[in-house]
Chains A and B, each alone.
Chain A
Amino acid sequence: MTNQMLEPITEQTYYLNMGPQHPSTHGVLRLFLKLDGEYIVEADPIIGYGHRGHEKMAESHLYEQFLPNSSRMDYLSGLLFNHGYVAAVEKMAGIEVPPRAEYIRVICAELNRISSHLLWFGTYIMDLGGFTPFLYCFDDRENILDILDHVSGSRLTYSYCRFGGVAKDLDDEFISATRQFIERLRSRWDDYHNLVTKNVIFIHRAKDVGVINRELALRFGCTGPILRGAGVAYDIRKAEPYSVYPELDFEIPTGTAGDALDRYMVRLQEMEQSLRIVEQALDRLPDGPIKAAVPHKVRPPKGDYYFAVESARGALGFYIVSDGTSYPYRLKARVPSYGNLQVLTDVLPGTLVADTISILGSIDIVVPEVDR
């Protein structure tokens, strides 16, 4: 089906703006489409509508003061961004984090990853026209938000990780609620698979749609479920292990063809792996302090540092240049959605307009993260 209409039959092509205000673009993204009838000839994602200058803002803020900004870049996996930024600064300043704090970070980060994937699951199926699964997974996601709210006091933009540890200790209520949630979500997989994965309409709309193969994914610097869906088992948690991930046992699910169905399956399996990580981390949770002694103002030594974590959408890196003061000289966030979005220029041509929504949904972008 793809690429068969690349040569326009007539010269009557026209341009269509999808977005910036379109209900299925997941934020203020403008797709500039050149169309030949129902087929796309050229696609150009235009970004920058949600630019807030986070990187520039960092230069005039203390290292501590940038903390709330980190979760506002990607509001769906705020804790993972929090973790990435905090761990980058800890690496710069040479701060040792107590083991309990590391475990708490991993537990909360993985819960956040599941909540992000659940939201993607709901909105992706809604893009394809199914409204019911959206409500079911929001029910489950609500449970995670309640759990994270219990410990961090916030539901979306957690400033939970602090330099040298975390803001608040876990209590027994959190641990029992998390264990209940693991049971609950595992009992839901059957429903999800019966409702969506095996659904013939869903399979027809996702199989062989938006194929991002290995070469394309590597060329555009795609990471996360897109790269893994194309069959490359690359995950920062395994490739450049950080925190306590080396001690935990989990697998990296991969796909084969790199179509929307593969990315869907990879994300569903990733949620199950995240549940495994949370379960193991809860079992091994050590006692001890949750925060190391850190000065009020962190002053990392001169130099430039890079630290990467695996966010829900792929590799997230913070590159920070320090000039020895308590303000970063330069901060650059390498966000996963940026590369994942640019691949659309190569994937969309030759597909139908109706599939644009499916492809855009399947790559799971968060536009404020691209714009920052």
Chain B
Amino acid sequence: MGMVKDIFVGGWSLLAGMWVTIRRIYRPVVTVQYPRRYLEMSPSYRGHIEFKSFPETGTHNCVACGTCMRFCPTNVIKVQGEKIHTHSEKRASLYFIDFSHCSLCGLCVVNCPTQTLQFSDEYDMAHFSRWDGVVDLIRRLEESA
């Protein structure tokens, strides 16, 4: 008798499971067909860093102090600055990042004294060469302007 009951209960549990999957067929599709449709990135998405452009000056505000370079855990950032003449402020003349090593912790953005760094919304960074991960932030800012 117990065996008959087991068979009945077991068979019923399988049918109940089937019913869950059958009902799912008539629910809306949850996936997005990627190359044809794109999802919207979240507003706080962290891509690689880029320069903020300040409306007062029309350009970035990097003084090449090197704080980001020293705080970076994986030595992603290389920044150099120069003075246009002796008494002028130092300005960044070279700012490269190697995104292939970046872990997107955001320490550079948090610690920047002039708040000139921000996260970009770049996300499809698959490339064929490791050099393609190197981004020139100054050129990037000039091209976007």
Contacts and interface: CB of A to CB of B under 8 A. Distances in A.
Contacts, number: 75
Contacts of B107: 64-65, 67
B73 A200 contact: no
Interface string B103-145: 1111100110000000100000000000000000000000000
Contacts of A150: 42-44
A68 B105 contact: yes
- Which range contains the number of B residues in contact with the other chain? 20 to 34
Task: Return the 7 tightest CB-CB contacts between A and B, nearest first.
Answer: A200-B10, A65-B73, A68-B105, A153-B44, A153-B46, A68-B103, A159-B105
22 contacts: A64-B71, A65-B107, A66-B73, A68-B73, A146-B42, A150-B44, A153-B42, A154-B104, A157-B104, A159-B103, A159-B104, A159-B105, A159-B106, A167-B106, A194-B17, A194-B19, A195-B16, A198-B16, A199-B13, A200-B13, A200-B14, A296-B71
Interface string A305-342: 00000000000000000000000000000000000000
Contacts of A296: 71, 111
B21 interface: yes
Contacts of B10: 200
B20 interface: yes
Contacts of B9: 200
B87 interface: no
B30 interface: yes
Main secondary structure of the interface of A (DSSP, over half): helix
A351 interface: no
Contacts of A201: 14
A16 to B, nearest CB: 32
Which of A67, A69, A195, A199 has the most chain B CB atoms inside 10 A of its CB? A195
A162 interface: yes
A151 interface: yes
A194 B20 contact: yes
A83 to B, nearest CB: 15
Which of B19, B20, B72 has the most chain A CB atoms inside 10 A of its CB? B20
Contacts of A62: 71, 73
Given A65-B107, A195-B16, 18 more contacts: A62-B71, A62-B73, A64-B71, A64-B107, A65-B71, A65-B105, A67-B107, A68-B73, A139-B30, A153-B119, A154-B104, A157-B104, A159-B106, A162-B110, A167-B106, A195-B20, A198-B13, A200-B9
B47 to A, nearest CB: 9
